[in-house]
Chain A
Amino acid sequence: MSGVLSSAGRIARREVVLEASGRELVTVVPPFVLAAVVLAGLGFGPRPEVLRAVAPALPWLVVLFAAVPMARSVAAAERDEGCWHLLRGLVSPGELFAGKAGALALWLTLTWAGTAVLIAAMLDAPLRAAAVPAGVLGGVGLAALVTTFGVALAGAEKRSGLLSVLLCPAAVPVLLAGAQAGTAGVNARPWLLLLVAYDVIALAVAWAVFPVLLEE
């Protein structure tokens, strides 16, 4: 088990180094987040009660849309730059999945957190504390999902469109539970438990199908 974690950590570190050097996501995601929050403020109007009502769901909508360009880093970018076979030969499918999903969970959670901070600052609609664990749990579940779809669609021509179509229904539980867990006056506990269950199922299914997806 420690070998798997060590290899997965090496893959995840490589992702972080690649992002630090290539700045592929940094140039795409923050401007997208900023635009989404500004447009949401304009679109929903100036009334504070309306903004506070939509605020818990808004970070999740942004994360779901941002997940589409992020998915390229899972396998498509590796294939385009001739590294996919190397990774497949270098580590086991489980290690590759864990490393890629771990890095993706970090990007998704950071995106959620950044959006939440912007919403609090620009729309004066801060999220409650229970939204934070929901942000982490949702990020993990979505990372498992996006990693799996990212590999499955790596060679597809209409990758982005297909990913959106697949991601929308599969990620609905995260959207609903994440939004409810962050809504004032709602008991967060059952929604957090739903997110835990979603993570367990998503990780188990992804772990099981990942080796099959790697076969050509």
Chain B
Amino acid sequence: MAPPADAHAGIDARLVLEGVSRSFGRTLALAPVSLRLGPGAICLVTGPNGSGKSTLLRIAAGVTKSSSGKRWAAGSALYLRPGDGARHAQTPRQAVDFVARSRGRDGVEEALDAVGLRRLADTPVGRLSSGERARVTLAIALVWSPSVACLDEPTAHLDPAGASAATDVTARLAAEGTAVLVATHDEGFLADLADARIRLSRGRLELAP
């Protein structure tokens, strides 16, 4: 097993994965991975398609059970892909407001502003472009402010301004103490902010080059 990527060793952990793996039938999607993220840690997960990035994030968020190993998260965990989180018949404001109310938080308008969606806040999500839907997802992540955020390809479909908003949202989440796990093909994304970077290949963990 490759050595664990330990982003914030010695601090109170928000997410601990101990040897988690996942198989689908005889196919190994993810070989045992260990990871520990503290409050505010940002960990990038890179690797080619089919390398197990999404599987790792889904296990980390608790939406997929691991075949082996242990997962522990302090508080709520969130898994989002671009465009997730809002039904087509909802408006961005309704979708973000629903999450905010469920979490007992304010800041709906602020979150919409942060991702540049104020102008489209009352347009049904089904009429938005994929990039605009990705911004709705970012606003949801921001207003949710979970203990652990697993963002799967957050810059997919986004233009440079959107990618910049994604960087800002990730930084704000980390500043609020959220441990952020980000799967990305964009090697430059969060390059300056990430505390750790791990690389997966064919479901196996490699250390970053």
Point out residues on A near B: beta carbons under 8 Å. 7, 10, 14, 17-18, 21-22, 24, 77-78, 81-83, 85-86, 88-91, 215-216
Contact = CB atoms under 8 A, between A and B. Distances in A.
Contacts of A90: 76, 99, 102-103, 144
B190 interface: no
B94 interface: yes
A18 B102 contact: no
Given A22-B87, A89-B76, A216-B65, A82 B81 contact: yes
B78 A89 contact: yes
Contact of B98 (A14, A82, A89): A14
Contacts of B88: 22, 81
Nearest to B77: A89
B102 A91 contact: yes
Contact of A86 (B65, B85, B94): B85
B68 interface: no
17 contacts: A10-B102, A18-B89, A21-B90, A21-B124, A22-B88, A81-B87, A82-B85, A82-B86, A83-B87, A86-B84, A86-B99, A86-B140, A89-B78, A89-B79, A90-B102, A90-B103, A90-B144
B41 to A, nearest CB: 19
Contacts of A7: 102
A3 to B, nearest CB: 10
Contacts, number: 64
A184 to B, nearest CB: 42
B63 A89 contact: yes
B64 interface: yes
Interface string B61-85: 1111100000000001111110111
A216 B81 contact: no
A10 B86 CA distance: 15
A82 B144 CA distance: 16
Contact of B146 (A21, A24, A81, A89): A89
B87 A77 contact: yes
Given A18-B89, A78-B87, A81-B88, 4 more contacts: A17-B90, A83-B85, A89-B62, A216-B63
Interface residues of B, number: 31
Interface string B153-169: 00000000000000000
A10 B101 contact: yes
B80 A86 contact: yes
B163 to A, nearest CB: 20
B33 to A, nearest CB: 18
A91 B104 CA distance: 12
Contacts of B94: 17, 21
A86 B136 CA distance: 13
A24 B124 CA distance: 14
Contacts of B58: 216
Contacts of A83: 84-87
Interface in B23-75: 58, 61-65
B58 to A, nearest CB: 8
B80 A215 contact: no
Contacts of A216: 58, 63-65
B61 A89 contact: yes
